[in-house]
Amino acid sequence: MKRVLKRLDTVHQKLSTTIAAIDPNLFPQRPAENEWSVAEVIQHLCLVEKRMLSGLELALHAPPARVRLLKKLIPSRIVSVRFPRVKAPKAVEPLNPLPKEESLSSYNDVRARLKEFCIEHGRRQLSQTSLRHPFFGDIDGVTAVSMVAFHEQRHYKQIREILKKLGQPL
């Protein structure tokens, strides 16, 4: 679990540092009509993490579950790949994102809650939970947390692409 939490911290730190340097007026700006702004990406990440955390909390109250071995062989890292583009499920599509400072604060809060949850329940308990991923089906709790870090990595790349299109130096 330490390795998964370290990955969460590493990716989140890179993303936070990048976001901190963005002009607040550029934060909500879309590079094109059909593309998300940095603000929308952050709101999406926050929504995904909140949804996953509540799914894990519910899964802990259910009887222990086992995810099939074949499912455990899917590498979590696949989530970080930006090709092919994947449409976000409706429940985690950004709507009316907050200003920069509020967005970051909200996102940092949900990340802190996720880490506390992981520390409190540990690898053994999380590996006995099962939740439904919109693209991979049933996954265990440890895999879900690992996928959060790789999902954030995917969107960190997207944010860098957005900033480049908007002419923001990286």
Report the C-alpha gap between 83 and 136 in whole angstroms: 16
Q: Is 45 domain-assigned?
A: yes
pLDDT per residue as tens digits for the range 83-100: 566 777 788 899 999 999
For the chain, give the mean pLDDT.
Answer: 87
Specify the number of domains making up the chain: 1
Of 22 and 75, more confident: 22
Q: Is 151 domain-assigned?
A: no
Question: What amino acid is encoded at 11 in this protein?
Answer: V
Tell me what pLDDT residue 133 has: 77
pLDDT per residue as tens digits for the range 54-79: 999 999 888 776 665 555 556 555 55
Print the domain residue range for 8: 2-23+39-139
Q: Is 59 domain-assigned?
A: yes
Q: What is the dihedral of CA 76, 144, 87, 156, to 10 degrees?
A: -70
Q: Is 114 domain-assigned?
A: yes
Q: Is 6 domain-assigned?
A: yes
CA angle at 162 for the pair 52 and 109, rounded to the nearest 5°: 35
Report the C-alpha gap between 92 and 107 in whole angstroms: 14
Q: Is 12 domain-assigned?
A: yes
| Global model pTM greater than 0.85 | yes
In percent, the amount of the chain with pLDDT more than 90 equals 65
Q: Is 147 domain-assigned?
A: no
Q: Is 145 domain-assigned?
A: no
Residue 138 near residue 5, CB atoms below 8 Å: no
Using CA of residue 137, residue 34, residue 169, residue 40, what is the dihedral sign? negative
C-alpha 131, offset from chain centre: 15
Report the C-alpha gap between 18 and 12 in whole angstroms: 10
Report the C-alpha gap between 47 and 92 in whole angstroms: 5
